[in-house]
Amino acid sequence: MGTDSQALAVAFGLASAASWGSGDFSGGLATRRSNVYGVVILSQLVGAVFLVALAFLLEKSGTGTQNLWLGALAGIAGVIGLVALYRGLASGRMGVVAPLTAVVTAALPVLVSLITEGLPAPLQLVGFGIALVAVWLLSGAGGGASRRTRDVGLALVAGLGFGLFFILIGRVSHSAILWPLVAARVASIGFLFSFATLAGQWEAPARGRLPLIALAGVLDTGGNAFFALATQAGRLDIAAVLASLYPAATVLLAWLILKEHLLRRQWLGIVAALVALAFIAA
């Protein structure tokens, strides 16, 4: 991988992390006192409109059927992860659920990349390790044993869903990025709406939550697009590990806006994330 491609992969990966972390904060905040399915479906609809507009503007040619299927499967995996994450963010501590999700999210693509692409450079391997330590440090202790067990369960489901999304989107052809993401959105909306309707759990959020929901949808879509660009520019594991630093944005926003207390280990996690970035970008 050339220096320019590596720099692009790092830049897109970081942009994905910032966008996803901000979107998760907005979505988690909107889900408090709102139906999680309503929040996710509406945010996905906003994202779908945004993506279709971008696809028509930036990708004049169509894409193959295989890319659309990969996008659709990625969308279903991702929306399952998103529902689990939003439930955790709404009912637990944002500073606990998001980082634990990120550890699981990063692990799956890294394992797949090691098998399919071989080992990255030694310094990047060190950076991967530091990054995983960083997202773990970013998680703080919170709640009793039952709350922690529930948070861990939701984080595992969310991480598996997002990890599969990373892997499937990483396999999309270099000639198409946005249309597979449109397919992902269509599949995720259809899957979630059908499930919520059959389960009798669909409920429209309050009108006052709509701006937050729309913001979450745009930011989540931006994170998806930046991640897809990162996988096109460089290795899957580099894109996945950098994108998985998104809890830093969620935690910092929770600290700034919600005044959540950050432990010393969480500040160390933010420093570790910066150190990891330096190694990965080397």
Question: How do residues 213-262 score in pLDDT, each as one tens digit?
Answer: 999 999 988 998 898 888 888 888 888 888 888 878 888 888 888 887 77
Percent of the chain with pLDDT over 70: 87
Total domains in the fold of the chain: 1
CA 137 to each of CA 85, 94, 120, 133: distance values in angstroms, whole numbers, following the listed order: 19, 14, 24, 6
| Tens-place pLDDT, residues 32-81 | 777 778 888 888 899 899 888 888 887 766 677 888 899 999 999 988 88
Q: Tell me which residue range forms the domain holding 221.
A: 3-281
Is the whole-model pTM more than 0.75? yes
Give the pLDDT of residue 142.
Answer: 46
Angle of the 94-117 helix axis to the 122-138 helix axis, nearest 10: 160
Kindly report the backbone phi and psi dihedral angles of residue 201, in degrees, each rounded to the nearest multiple of 5, phi listed first: -115, 10
